[in-house]
Structure 1
């Protein structure tokens, strides 16, 4: 491998949130990862630095800092193994702000005739298969339900 290729690999690791060591300071995290796509306050005085690769990408990485500004958790959240644990449908349980704080801005916001509200969607990959996460938000801003489905965007393109 050439010296330039080694530098490119090292640079890509430096900007990969999941490679950031726990305990890293906020300043060092920003230096290594760059500006986040969003910043959200967390309970207890901490904050979340969110790094989304949307709309073209398939990952959203949440980097959680404690009140002292140290990294305490890093997680790639667009993972169908975690949706049941993370998404909390029900009257007033999970709201738009919770969805944004976890997944960031959606790829698309649409409406469907069978639901009185909006449907937010995100691209993600499951075992290298393109998928979509759909979260249904009622008119009061509460999450009513969610489901996943195949992303058929490339199937619709003329061949």
Structure 2
């Protein structure tokens, strides 16, 4: 058997997997798509949340290693009304609502999904949830501070210095 004949099945597999990866991209779903069709194209979501008005959010997170959380919102009739990649510096000020009783853990999960890490520090009485994201291809971190009552108190962003360290190795 020739080298070309042996390599052909592997090349075909790579091409098929590449096309399947494109089909599973949430941002390529058209508004108006039925839920069943969206699920067929995207597969099972990493989480699903009810929305006001009878709608539903299908969340596709690439965490913990990835940099994106895509929310596909459906209306009460089960049709896609919006798709949004949430881990974006330009959205944080409009989305995150720190303050007494305003934004809680459930709100954070509904927007960003499970964090890649939950930590504690001695200077804060609560936990710090963090997500990886990219800003113009630079690895960044979003930190959300949640107090013991489950209320978001503040957030900030920072460079993902550990990622830079591993990339240099």
Class of the TM-score when normalised by the shorter of the 2 chains = over 0.9
TM-superposed deviation, 1:153: 1.1
- Mapped pair 1:40 → 2:20: no
Provide Cα deviations, 1:23-42, integer angstroms capped at 9, x if missing partner.
Answer: 00000000000000000011
Report the Cα offset of residue 8 of structure 1. Answer: 4.8
Q: Is the CA contact (8 Å cut-off) linking 2:139 and 2:163 kept in structure 1?
A: no
Q: CA deviation at 1:115?
A: 1.1
Q: Aligned Cα RMSD in Å? A: 1.8
Q: Could you say which structure has the higher helix fraction?
A: 2
Work out the number of aligned pairs and report it: 158
Structure exhibiting the larger radius of gyration computed from Cα positions: 2
Instruction: Specify every segment of 5 or more residues in structure 2 that has no aligned partner in the other structure, as ranges.
Output: 1-10
Residue in 2 that maps onto 1:20: 29
Q: What's 1:69 paired with?
A: 78
2:7 matched residue in structure 1:
none
Q: Secondary structure of the residue that 1:106 maps to in structure 2?
A: coil
Unaligned runs of 5+ in 1: none
Structure 2 length normalisation: TM-score? 0.88
Deviation string 1:66-119 (CA, Å, 9 cap, x unpaired) is 011000000000001100000000100010000000000000001111111100
1:14 Cα deviation from its structure 2 partner: 1.1
TM-score of the aligned structures, taking structure 1 as reference length = 0.93
Taking the TM superposition and a 5 Å limit, the aligned residue runs for 1:51-66 are 51-66=60-75
Segments ≥4 residues shifted beyond 6 Å: none
- Pair 1:152-2:168 in alignment: no
Partners of 2:54 and 2:122 lie apart in 1 by 41
2:63/2:69 contact within 8 Å kept: yes
Whether the 8 Å contact between 2:67 and 2:133 is mirrored in structure 1 is: yes
